[in-house]
A = this chain, B = another copy of it.
Amino acid sequence: MTESQAKLAPTLAESPARTVERILSAAARLFAERGMAGVGLREITAEAGVNLAAVNYHFGSKEKLLEALFARRALPITQERMRLLGRCAEAPGRQPMLEQVLEGFLRPAFSLGREAGVDGATFGKLRARLSVESVELYRRILSQAFDASTAAFLEAVVAALPDLPRAEVEWRFHFMLGTMLYTMADSGRIQSITGGTCQPSDAEMALAKLVPFLCAGFRAPPTA
């Protein structure tokens, strides 16, 4: 707390007063690995090396802890998304507009979030789980974190496909969310079916396969 502590901080110290960070870090990893219901506060606090009650003191509840964790991780993703969207432009030598927009939407989701010891893929799993739940709290968390930037991308796709009715674009955008989230979830199903030749955990490969697939789908003729 005081400056003297910071000055004297030993190399191998327990990093006192960083309780909040330690909890967030442990919770991020454990929630993402085993889900909200699969891990208890006692395990989180043990891993973080703090007292059980610290979670409720600093965050208020297990759910609020998730909320805090999520807000922190989602921000860099949406920021990077908006930055990439701003860079999209029709120009000779560049990819078509639709490809640029989809890549701008998908890449941050796959590659970002590597802070505080939890990589982006792990956070992606947590996000994918929350995304299929119908718990009101989870829907609120996701809405708050992603709706604004996602809506901006939907508009960009609508603009990139002027001949497609808006309703059609919305359906296909919904399908895109499905492919994105299911790939982030890395459920192991496709490996189970094929024997492991296809590895959704390879983010760069997933992007390379996903963007052309989705663009072709978006460009299909409108449904009768």
Contacts and interface: CB of A to CB of B under 8 A. Distances in A.
A132 B134 contact: no
Interface in A171-218: 171-175, 177-183, 185-190, 192-194, 197-198, 200, 206, 208-210, 212-218
B183 A213 contact: no
A63 interface: no
Contacts of A163: none
Copy number in the complex reads 2
A193 B151 contact: yes
A34 B175 contact: no
Say whether chain A's binding surface is mostly helix, strand, loop, or mixed.
Answer: helix
A119 interface: no
B178 A213 contact: no
A57 to B, nearest CB: 24
A8 interface: no
A190 B174 contact: yes
A143 B192 contact: yes
Contact of A33 (B134, B206, B215, B223): B134
Which interface class (under 10, 10 to 19, 20 to 34, 35 or more) fits A?
A: 35 or more
B132 A128 contact: yes
Given A167-B197, A177-B190, A197-B170, A132 B129 contact: yes
Q: What 8 A-B pairs are tightest by C-beta distance, nearest first?
A: A178-B182, A37-B37, A216-B220, A132-B185, A217-B217, A174-B190, A178-B179, A170-B198
Given A34-B134, A139-B192, 8 more contacts: A131-B132, A147-B192, A171-B209, A172-B209, A173-B193, A177-B189, A178-B183, A215-B220
